[in-house]
């Protein structure tokens, strides 16, 4: 008997906006929150009366109360030493995210009339291990059992793949969100969603487009009025908001107006920006996304013609220049009838359905159970091991389907070396210190011998959850050392 409604939420925890969905009657449905909205701004603040505000309420008070408001916290996820001063306290980025998740959970419970305790949360595909860990931690702090942290573009593909007539297709998901950019290429066949390649930039998103407008407005204002507003917190916040609105306006208008009276003392900021101007200032950002797209196609061993469908995800893909450039590069009109803000949350709900073996409506309108679908995701960053001379020995290359395992044999570099110590590294750099260190493997008690004689096998294993397990083994003595990734203390608060 098919369950009417799943018990697991799919949550898109975005940089600017968040969204929640759940499987109902075999299909992912976006949850409308208590204020009648389907998206809530990822903003947290404290009112002057010391009340916790999340979402629209928090966003509304940013201008009047900027010191007690936090936005775009996702950009700091996984940074162990980053703390947000808020309401005389210092919060971790995942602590702030937990507040957003708590709000989403409460809204969902109100909508469903029932308690929910489980969730699948999405992250940018290019998030590293600590960023993923921090996201999971945030979910736990919000009282959610996080069944899986999945990649945003992959989630979008899952939601798309349940549509009618999608079979044996190669799709490219271009996901330009508020703060991050991802490209994923997938093959959908026989109900298997196989990620072929993933690439991205965790510091490229709609915020950067806004910043270009802000910079422009600031410099123009300085030139015209001789006043530098970049130190004026309140003015800056107003300009930021105006810039975002201006960017959104330019998606439908060719010229947008920014009018901010009394921006500084009795001066007024009143300017017009044309779409051409905007496109000229943001060209380098768009170019960056195109070259990342190119790289992912190369990684997948495909050319633009091999792609059957291009899917645009994330609010920033509404920028006409972005859609146009993608279309030109791919030689194909991206799919229009997909909601770029909601598709990720819907995909997260689908993955929740697969994990819970729920009934899902698939192509041809058949009720299929989740058993007919599986997502084969990849590890988006290369895993390596630190060796002598600050070099990285790559062990699991990026774009390897997970779960996976691989090992390499290492040896000592001086005579009678008793201990081998090396960092577990995530990243593509040949220089070890440029990659992110996830932990350290120390293997002791190596029997004394000439350098180059001992054989130490280092094995990395990644499970379906993306959790990394590292083992070092002395092949001569059989001595073994297992390391699960240690998290920086800052992530455990």
Give the count of alpha carbons within 13 A of 48, CB side only: 7
Instruction: Considering the complex, state which of residue 222 and residue 413 has its C-beta at the smaller distance from another protein.
Output: 413
Annotated catalytic residue: which of 29, 59, 74, 103? Answer: 74
Annotated catalytic residue: which of 27, 107, 129, 175? Answer: 175
Query: C-alpha distances in angstroms, 9 versus 17, 29, 489?
Result: 16, 10, 29
Whether 51 is catalytic is no
Annotated catalytic residue: which of 12, 129, 244, 358? Answer: 12
CB of 485 to another protein, least distance (A): 17
Q: Determine how many CB atoms are found less than 10 A away from the CB of residue 447.
A: 12
Instruction: Considering the complex, state which of residue 38 and residue 405 has its C-beta at the smaller distance from another protein.
Output: 405
CB of 355 to another protein, least distance (A): 6
Instruction: Considering the complex, state which of residue 28 and residue 466 has its C-beta at the smaller distance from another protein.
Output: 466
Residue matched to tokens 């573009």: 153
Phi (first) and psi of residue 326, to 5 degrees: -65, -45
Whether 152 is catalytic is yes
CB of 92 to another protein, least distance (A): 30
CB of 445 to another protein, least distance (A): 14
Residues with Cβ within 8 Å of 246's Cβ and at least 6 positions away in sequence, in order, are 213, 256, 257, 258, 273
Instruction: Considering the complex, state which of residue 320 and residue 356 has its C-beta at the smaller distance from another protein.
Output: 356
Residue 304, exposed/middle/buried by CB under 10 A (0-12, 13-18, 19+)? middle
Annotated catalytic residue: which of 27, 152, 182, 207? Answer: 152
C-alpha–C-alpha distance, residues 377 and 294, integer Å:
20
CB of 159 to another protein, least distance (A): 17
CB of 154 to another protein, least distance (A): 12
Beta bridge partner(s), residue 46? 52
Q: Residue-wise over 314-346: b if at least 16 C-beta within 10 A, else e?
A: bbbbbbebbbebbeebbebebeeebebbbbbbb
Instruction: Considering the complex, state which of residue 141 and residue 192 has its C-beta at the smaller distance from another protein.
Output: 192
Instruction: Considering the complex, state which of residue 192 and residue 281 has its C-beta at the smaller distance from another protein.
Output: 192
Q: Where are the beta strands (DSSP E) in 179-219?
A: 181-189, 192-201
DSSP assignments along 303-367, one per residue: -GGG-SEEEEESGGGGSHHHHHHHHHHHTSPPB-SS-TTTHHHHHHHHHHHHHTT-EEE-GGG-E
Encoded tokens for 128: 């590293």
Instruction: Considering the complex, state which of residue 27 and residue 474 has its C-beta at the smaller distance from another protein.
Output: 474
Whether 12 is catalytic is yes
List of residues contacting another protein (CB under 8 A): 189-192, 354-355, 371-376, 387-389, 391-394, 401, 403-413, 430, 451-452, 455, 457, 463-464, 473-478
Torsion angle of C-alpha atoms 124, 126, 131, 133, degrees rounded to 10 = 80
Q: Is 27 left (phi over 0), alpha (psi -120 to 50) or beta?
A: beta
CB of 383 to another protein, least distance (A): 13
Give the count of alpha carbons within 13 A of 322, CB side only: 28
C-alpha–C-alpha distance, residues 374 and 376, integer Å:
6
Q: Active-site residue numbers? A: 12, 74, 152, 175
């Amino acid at each position: 008997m098919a369950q009417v409604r799943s018990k697991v939420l799919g949550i898109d925890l975005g940089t600017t906006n968040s969204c929640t969905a759940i499987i109902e009657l075999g299909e992912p449905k976006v949850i409308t929150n208590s204020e009648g909205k389907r998206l809530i701004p990822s903003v947290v603040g404290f009112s002057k009366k010391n009340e916790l505000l999340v979402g629209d309420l928090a966003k509304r008070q940013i201008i009047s109360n900027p010191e007690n408001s936090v936005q775009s916290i996702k950009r700091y996820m996984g940074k162990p030493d980053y703390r947000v001063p808020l309401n005389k306290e210092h919060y971790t980025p995942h602590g702030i995210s937990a507040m957003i998740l708590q709000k989403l959970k409460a809204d969902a419970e109100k909508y469903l009339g029932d308690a929910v305790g489980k969730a699948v949360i999405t992250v940018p595909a290019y998030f590293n291990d600590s960023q993923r860990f921090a996201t999971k931690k945030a979910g736990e702090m919000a009282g959610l059992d996080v069944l899986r942290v999945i990649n945003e573009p992959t989630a979008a593909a899952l939601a798309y793949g349940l549509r009618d007539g999608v079979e044996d297709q190669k799709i490219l998901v271009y996901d330009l969100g508020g703060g991050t950019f991802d490209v994923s290429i997938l093959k959908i066949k026989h109900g298997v969603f196989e990620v072929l390649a993933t690439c991205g930039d965790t510091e490229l998103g709609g915020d950067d487009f806004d910043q270009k407008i802000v910079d422009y407005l600031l410099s123009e204002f300085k030139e015209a009025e001789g006043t530098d507003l970049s130190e004026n917190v309140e003015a800056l916040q107003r300009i930021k908001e105006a810039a975002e609105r201006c960017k959104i306006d330019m998606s439908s208008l060719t010229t947008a107006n920014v009018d901010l009276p009394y921006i500084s003392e009795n001066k007024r900021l009143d300017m017009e920006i044309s779409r051409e101007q905007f496109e000229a200032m943001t060209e380098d950002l768009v170019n960056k996304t195109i070259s990342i797209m190119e790289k992912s196609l190369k990684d997948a061993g495909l050319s633009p013609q091999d792609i059957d469908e291009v899917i645009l995800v994330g609010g920033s893909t509404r920028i006409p220049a972005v859609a146009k450039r993608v279309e030109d590069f791919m030689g194909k009109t991206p799919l229009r009838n997909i909601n770029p803000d909601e598709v990720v949350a819907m995909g997260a709900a689908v993955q929740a359905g697969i994990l819970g073996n729920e009934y899902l409506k698939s192509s041809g309108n058949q009720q299929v159970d989740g058993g007919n679908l599986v997502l084969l995701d990849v590890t988006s960053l290369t895993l390596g091991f630190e060796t002598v001379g600050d070099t990285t020995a790559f062990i699991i290359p990026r774009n390897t389907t997970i779960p996976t395992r691989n090992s390499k044999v290492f040896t000592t570099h001086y005579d009678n070396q008793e201990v081998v110590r090396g960092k577990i590294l995530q990243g593509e750099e040949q220089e070890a210190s440029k990659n992110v260190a996830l932990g350290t493997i120390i293997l002791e008690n190596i029997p004394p011998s000439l350098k180059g004689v001992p054989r130490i096998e280092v094995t990395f294993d990644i499970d379906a959850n993306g959790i990394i397990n590292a083992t070092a083994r002395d092949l001569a003595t059989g001595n073994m050392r297992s390391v699960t990734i240690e998290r920086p203390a800052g992530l455990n608060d």
